[in-house]
Amino acid sequence: MGFIEEGQQFSQHSEDSEIAAIEKRIGAAERKVIEILKKRTTVRNAPGNTIDTIHAEIMTVLTRLENSLRSDVLERLARLESKLQNVA
């Protein structure tokens, strides 16, 4: 196997690893959102809580998760691009 093929194989393996890590993180975020929604359903029935308040809280949590995932994905993409440039 030549140098180019080894680089391509390394690149593909690296991409697959990065994608798997991102998918794992997204799955964890989805589970957390479902857990929060279940808790909010219980809280919603408590006196004094309005749908608007609960909705605002959920949106805040989702925004935080989205920002966290976005920064993680951007970091991983930057590392992957750096690896690809080093191989090329």
- Residue spans per domain, the chain: 3-87
Give per-residue pLDDT as tens, 11-40. 666 677 777 888 888 888 888 888 877 776
Per-residue pLDDT at 84: 79
Per-residue pLDDT at 1: 54
What one-character DSSP code corresponds to residue 67? H
| Token code pair at residue 72 | 């993680």
Given the structure tokens 């191989």, which residue do they identify? Answer: 87
Rounded-to-integer distance, Cα 33 and Cα 84, Å: 34
